[in-house]
């Protein structure tokens, strides 16, 4: 058995691909050592590391065995990156090569499948939306995608309230007017005379319809009611208990978007953009807009695609309604009744720090303990802390009947006892976390064979042994080929 590899253990070996049911086919390549052991465990654990065809290996000279490698796309908040312990994590910031990444951290980068190497176990976005990640394909590959719900909620809420005020008073028009007067040397002369050109209304006592009562929507509703004295109407068919507890007591909940908008003076959109049938593309359409007050103010700091541009332009053309958004709109961008901002919703230092910190913590919990929280494609899963005489084993598989039995039977055949386990599923994928007892074994508990057996079960996508050596113990079933 080889001891845990150090930086000096990188060597040129012969590695193999083992097709299902076939003999191992050797390939000559530079890899990290063939096996790893946990020397400080109560019972040493041997797992295999370094067999199988790597999609990309590269960068051997700077690769750091014994550390989780984190690939960052975009500029990630330094405060968030500091959450990664340098002894366990090798963080490659934006622009740095990370050919052996174990996890990916990104903000707005549009991720392509070819950028996700076979070593990647998880992806986290510093933000709520995941439209820039091919989530469905990652699910097929057995890779959880995490987001950071609520991390930017306060920043977006403040911009929504700002937008409400911009839509109530022609502040932007007034600023531009004063700049023109200043250039002409007429600002002092006209400052009082021209103020009547930019009249408006107050928000106190007006009705705000909040469409979507998640972190941002609930926060907006609460502050608009408590601080601004507004009447709140809300709509959210998937309202969670957590969000419901944050709502103002005086809120009126209705059963449709149209019912929420009908008598509202302000309408805040706080729902995700979902493509396809039954999705939210163009959900604010002509029928909804036509049912609103002629002077209603729409606030869209969620996604531009939620609103039908043609219907919105027609609404702005015929009345005194307003549209305030931080998404581009090809038809409304220069309309006198529209205020189109850069995408500023989460662009505050505090929000970027909070999102990056949450994303980093989520990745750490998954890589170090197998815990899943805030994933958009995997079920929330957490097993209590493992005993020192156990080893944690995780399995990602297609959600088919009988697979869990196949996994547990494989351990039984290897005389390995399961101390505690949990199995959760979400749609097409299932996730298992099992703690295996090592106390009944006098010598080495050899996981190589049982891991290969489990990983190569029909429907299993990947497995992982969490035993103390960061970056090792991961295996994938690549269409019948065993990658470890």
Q: What is the pLDDT of residues 417-426, one digit of tens each?
A: 999 999 999 9
- Provide the 3-class DSSP secondary structure of residue 411: helix
- The per-residue pLDDT of the chain, averaged, comes to 87
Lowest average pLDDT, out of 137-146, 334-343, 469-478, goes to 469-478
Q: What is the DSSP letter of 341?
A: -
What is the C-alpha separation between 358 and 351, in angstroms, rounded?
Answer: 11
Predicted TM-score of the model (pTM): 0.79
The residue-averaged pLDDT of 362-373 equals 97
- Is the pLDDT score of 17 beyond 90? no
pLDDT of residue 61: 56
Contact 185, 219 (CB under 8 A): no
What share of the chain has pLDDT > 70, as a percent?
Answer: 86
- Is the pLDDT score of 67 beyond 60? yes
pLDDT of residue 436: 93
In 3D space, the residue among 49, 176, 144, 139 whose CA is nearest the CA of residue 367 turns out to be 144
Parallel/antiparallel/unpaired status of strands 429-437 and 390-398: antiparallel
Instruction: Give 94's pLDDT tier (boundaries 50, 70, 90).
Output: confident
- Is the pLDDT score of 459 beyond 60? yes
The DSSP-derived string for 177-206 is HHHHHHHHT-HHHHTTGGGGGG-B---TT-
pLDDT of residue 26: 37
- Is the pLDDT score of 134 beyond 80? yes
What share of the chain has pLDDT > 90, as a percent?
Answer: 72
- Is the pLDDT score of 444 beyond 80? no
* HEC assignment per residue over 215-284: HHHHHHHHHHHHCCCCEEEEECCCCCHHHHCCCCCCCEECCCHHHHHCCCCEEEECCCCCCCCCCCCCCE
pLDDT of residue 419: 95
pLDDT of residue 275: 86
pLDDT of residue 46: 63
Question: What tokens does 38 get?
Answer: 């946990």
Instruction: Give 266's pLDDT tier (boundaries 50, 70, 90).
Output: very high
- Which of 15-29, 49-63, 386-400 is the most confident on average? 386-400
Residue spans of beta strands (DSSP E) within 74-229: 89-92, 103-106, 122-125, 145-146, 207-211
pLDDT digits (tens, 9 = 90+) for 187-218: 999 999 999 899 899 999 999 999 999 999 99
Contact 423, 404 (CB under 8 A): yes
Parallel/antiparallel/unpaired status of strands 266-269 and 207-211: parallel
């Amino acid at each position: 058995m080889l001891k845990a590899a150090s930086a000096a253990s990188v060597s040129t070996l012969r590695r193999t691909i083992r097709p299902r049911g076939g003999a191992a086919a050797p390939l000559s390549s530079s890899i990290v050592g063939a096996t790893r052991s946990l020397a400080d465990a109560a019972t040493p654990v041997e797992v295999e590391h370094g067999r199988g065809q790597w999609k990309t290996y590269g960068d051997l000279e700077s690769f750091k065995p014994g550390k989780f490698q984190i690939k960052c796309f975009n500029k990630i908040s330094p405060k968030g990156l500091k959450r990664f312990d340098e002894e366990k994590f090798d963080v490659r910031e934006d622009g740095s090569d990370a050919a052996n990444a174990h996890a990916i951290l990104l903000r707005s980068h549009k991720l392509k499948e070819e950028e996700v190497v076979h070593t990647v176990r998880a992806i986290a976005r510093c933000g709520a939306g995941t439209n820039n990640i091919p989530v469905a394909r990652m699910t097929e590959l057995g890779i959880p995608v995490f987001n950071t719900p609520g991390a930017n909620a306060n920043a977006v809420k403040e911009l929504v309230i700002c937008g409400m005020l911009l839509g109530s008073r022609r502040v932007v028009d007034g600023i531009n007017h004063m700049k023109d007067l200043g250039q002409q040397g007429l600002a002092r002369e006209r400052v009082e005379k021209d103020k009547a050109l930019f009249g408006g209304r107050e928000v106190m006592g007006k009705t705000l319809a909040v469409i979507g009562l998640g972190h941002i929507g609930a926060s907006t509703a609460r502050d608009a009611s408590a601080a601004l004295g507004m009447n709140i109407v809300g709509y959210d068919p998937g309202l969670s208990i957590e969000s419901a507890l944050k709502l103002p007591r005086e809120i009126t909940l209705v059963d449709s978007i149209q019912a929420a908008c009908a008598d509202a003076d302000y309408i805040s959109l706080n729902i995700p953009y979902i493509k396809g049938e039954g999705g939210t593309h163009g959900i604010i359409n002509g029928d909804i807009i036509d049912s609103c007050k002629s002077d209603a103010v729409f606030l869209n700091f969620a996604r531009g695609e939620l609103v039908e541009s043609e219907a919105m332009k027609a609404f702005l053309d015929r009345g005194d309604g307003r549209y305030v958004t931080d998404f581009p709109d090809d038809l409304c961008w220069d309309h006198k009744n529209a205020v189109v901002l850069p995408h500023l919703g989460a662009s505050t230092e505090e929000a970027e720090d909070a999102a990056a910190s949450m994303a980093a913590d989520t990745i750490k919990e998954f890589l170090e303990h197998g815990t899943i929280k805030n994933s958009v494609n995997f079920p929330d899963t957490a097993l209590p802390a493992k005993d020192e005489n156990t080893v944690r084993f995780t399995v990602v598989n297609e959600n088919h009947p009988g697979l869990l039995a196949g996994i547990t039977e494989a351990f039984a055949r290897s005389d390995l006892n399961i101390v505690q386990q949990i199995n959760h599923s979400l749609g097409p994928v299932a996730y298992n976390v099992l703690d295996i007892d090592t106390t009944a074994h006098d010598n080495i508990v050899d996981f190589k064979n049982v891991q290969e057996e489990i990983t190569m079960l029909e429907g299993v996508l990947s497995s992982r042994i969490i035993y103390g050596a960061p970056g090792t113990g991961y295996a994938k079933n690549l269409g019948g080929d065993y990658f470890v």
